[in-house]
Amino acid sequence: MNFCSHCGSNQLDCKVPAGDHVARYVCQVCGTVHYVNPKMVVGCLVVHEERVLLCRRAIEPRYGFWNLPTGFLESGETVEEGAIRETWEEARARVKVERLHSVYSLPHCDQIIIHFVAQLQETGIEAGPESLEVNFFAETEIPWDDMAFSSHRFALERYFENRLKPDKQTYLGSSCLRTS
Amino acid sequence: MNFCSHCGSNQLDCKVPAGDHVARYVCQVCGTVHYVNPKMVVGCLVVHEERVLLCRRAIEPRYGFWNLPTGFLESGETVEEGAIRETWEEARARVKVERLHSVYSLPHCDQIIIHFVAQLQETGIEAGPESLEVNFFAETEIPWDDMAFSSHRFALERYFENRLKPDKQTYLGSSCLRTS
Ligand SMILES: [Zn+2]
Ligand SMILES: [Zn+2]
């Protein structure tokens, strides 16, 4: 951030506002405090006949690697709606959300990744514009070494480890070693 | 947004960028696309001797009404860390997160509210600067008509309805009637 998006001034000060406890960009001309918050990234772990839907990325970062269909939550969406939309965009799969599966924090890059377990509503799938190919994989077929992101790997590992348990909990993870 | 935060230009166009599907503010001078994403709000449902911790708000909006200790997730935090920090700030309660309890979407104001079930680590509580008072409430003592936010009411209702069930699922809700 170089300029105040409210008044256009370049006199931005990085300081802790009165009553706050974190440094923010504060405009010295109009007083606007510019907050930066983590972004939510949402997607689905689509299960069909004991296989899971993966997409091979046609975009950077991690072009050519595999991921669960996942992307940034948009303004005006519920988390479930965002996950369903991303699954359509990347894999042309129409799904219904079953439950919240995992929440994975990436505090060093200010992203929170949320995956739902979802079921196919129609049987067809097809690569969307951001995917090179899409397919269903059994546990032994998952390209573990070619997964694009640790958060998606986390979601897949927790799913396969626990899928036979009756208690369907939501799994919490993060990329840092701090304990919470 | 009136000015580009990257170059300071006031020539912002609200349009759908190439390859995108949602209108964004795009700077006509430097080309920066300004994304607006929902914010995450995180907090705890702290349970102690079958009672739940509530705080009476000393700040707007909803001054004087009750809430679960909850606030905006900050840059650099995991969701669990944010919820623990907010519980300390509002109620001076040191807690340990037990599980993810609820995720409630407010798509019309671009907020996602996440509550964890948490346990006290030390017995003391005290009103922080954003609270008029803090206290533990049994189910029959909850000030239901004086709760500040529907998302917190949702978290409390799901908790008390289901607390005797062995399966501890995460509850999904939203303020809209759209189905997902
Ligand atoms: Zn300004
Ligand atoms: Zn610009």
pLDDT in tens, B120-162: 999 899 999 999 999 999 999 999 999 999 999 999 999 999 9
Q: What is the model's pLDDT at position A138?
A: 97
pLDDT in tens, B55-98: 999 999 999 999 999 999 999 999 999 999 999 999 999 999 99
Task: Please give the backbone phi and psi of residue B139, each rounded to the nearest 5 degrees, phi first.
Answer: -50, -45
What Cα–Cα distance (Å) separates residue A113 from each residue in A73, A174, B51?
10, 9, 31
Residue from the list A38, A84, A114 with its beta carbon closest to the beta carbon of B73: A38
Residues of A in contact with B39 (CB under 8 A): 37
Q: What is the DSSP string of chain B?
A: --S-TTT--S-EEEE--TT-SS-EEEETTT--EE---PEEEEEEEEEETTEEEEEEESSSSSTT-EE-SEEEPPTT--HHHHHHHHHHHHH---EEEEEEEEEEEEGGGTEEEEEEEEEESSS-----TTEEEEEEE-GGG--GGGBS-HHHHHHHHHHHHHTT-S--PPEEEESS----
Q: How far, in whole angstroms, is CA B67 from its chain's centroid?
A: 10
Q: Is A19 helix (H, G, I), strand (E, B) or coil?
A: coil
Q: Tell me if A77 and B170 make a contact (CB, 8 A cut-off).
A: no
Tokens coding B72: 């905006």
Q: Tell me if A36 and B172 make a contact (CB, 8 A cut-off).
A: no
At B179, the pLDDT band (50, 70, 90 cuts) reads: very low
Is residue A24 classed exposed, middle or buried when 0-12, 13-18 and 19+ CB atoms within 10 A define those classes? Answer: middle
- Tell me the CATH number of domain A1-36, given options 2.20.70.10, 2.60.120.380, 3.30.365.10, 2.40.110.10: 2.20.70.10
Q: Tell me if B37 and A110 make a contact (CB, 8 A cut-off).
A: no
Q: Tell me if A76 and B100 make a contact (CB, 8 A cut-off).
A: no
d(CA B1, CA B23) in angstroms, rounded, equals 14
Residue B180 has pLDDT above 60, yes or no: no
Structure ipTM:
0.91
Residue from the list B2, B38, B77 with its beta carbon closest to the beta carbon of A75: B38
d(CA A34, CA B51) in angstroms, rounded, equals 38
- Smallest CA–CA separation between A167 and chain B, in Å? 5
Q: Are A128 and A91 in contact (CB under 8 A)?
A: yes
**A-chain residue closest to B100, CA distance:** A170
What Cα–Cα distance (Å) separates residue B10 from each residue in A4, A8, A170, B33?
11, 8, 45, 14
Task: Please give the interface size between A and B, counted as residue pairs whose CB atoms are below 8 Å apart.
Answer: 150
What's the average model confidence in pLDDT over B23-31?
94
Q: In terms of CATH architecture, what is A39-174? A: Alpha-Beta Complex (3.90)
Tokens coding A66: 């595999």
pLDDT in tens, chain A (180 residues): 899 999 999 999 999 988 888 889 999 999 999 988 999 999 999 999 999 999 999 999 999 999 999 999 999 999 999 999 999 999 999 999 999 999 999 999 999 999 999 999 998 999 999 999 999 999 999 999 999 999 999 999 999 999 999 888 999 999 975 544
Ligand 2 centre to CA of B3 (Å) is 8
Residues paired with B71 in a beta bridge: B42
Q: Tell me if B169 and A170 make a contact (CB, 8 A cut-off).
A: yes
Ligand 1 centre to CA of B60 (Å) is 23
Q: What is the model's pLDDT at position A62?
A: 96
Q: What is the model's pLDDT at position B178?
A: 54
Mutate to test the interface with B, among A102, A116, A180 (most CBs of B within 10 A): A180
CATH 2.20.70.10 domain residues, chain A: 1-36
Task: Please give the backbone phi and psi of residue A109, each rounded to the nearest 5 degrees, phi first.
Answer: -125, 15
Tokens coding B68: 């679960």
Residue from the list A72, A81, A105 with its beta carbon closest to the beta carbon of B79: A105
pLDDT in tens, A128-151: 999 999 999 999 999 999 999 999
Q: How does DSSP classify residue A73?
A: P
d(CA B166, CA A120) in angstroms, rounded, equals 28
At B41, the pLDDT band (50, 70, 90 cuts) reads: very high
Give the number of the ligand closest to the Cα of residue B6.
Answer: 2
Q: What is the model's pLDDT at position A178?
A: 54
CATH 3.90.79.10 domain residues, chain B: 39-174
Centre a 10 Å sphere on the Cβ of residue B46 and count the other Cβ atoms it contains: 28
Residues paired with B40 in a beta bridge: B112
Give the number of the ligand closest to the Cα of residue B1.
Answer: 1
Contacts of A3 (CB under 8 A, 6+ apart): A9, A10, A12, B3, B4, B5, B6, B7, B8
- Smallest CA–CA separation between A50 and chain B, in Å? 22
Q: What is the model's pLDDT at position A93?
A: 98
d(CA B52, CA B158) in angstroms, rounded, equals 13
Q: Tell me if B2 and A1 make a contact (CB, 8 A cut-off).
A: no
Q: Are A120 and A95 in contact (CB under 8 A)?
A: yes
CA R_g for chain B: 19
Q: Tell me if B76 and A36 make a contact (CB, 8 A cut-off).
A: no
AA letter at B117: V
Residue from the list B8, B78, B97 with its beta carbon closest to the beta carbon of A10: B8
Q: What is the model's pLDDT at position B177?
A: 57
Task: Please give the backbone phi and psi of residue B14, each rounded to the nearest 5 degrees, phi first.
Answer: -95, 105
Centre a 10 Å sphere on the Cβ of residue B39 and count the other Cβ atoms it contains: 18
Q: Are B135 and B127 in contact (CB under 8 A)?
A: no
Q: How does DSSP classify residue A105?
A: E
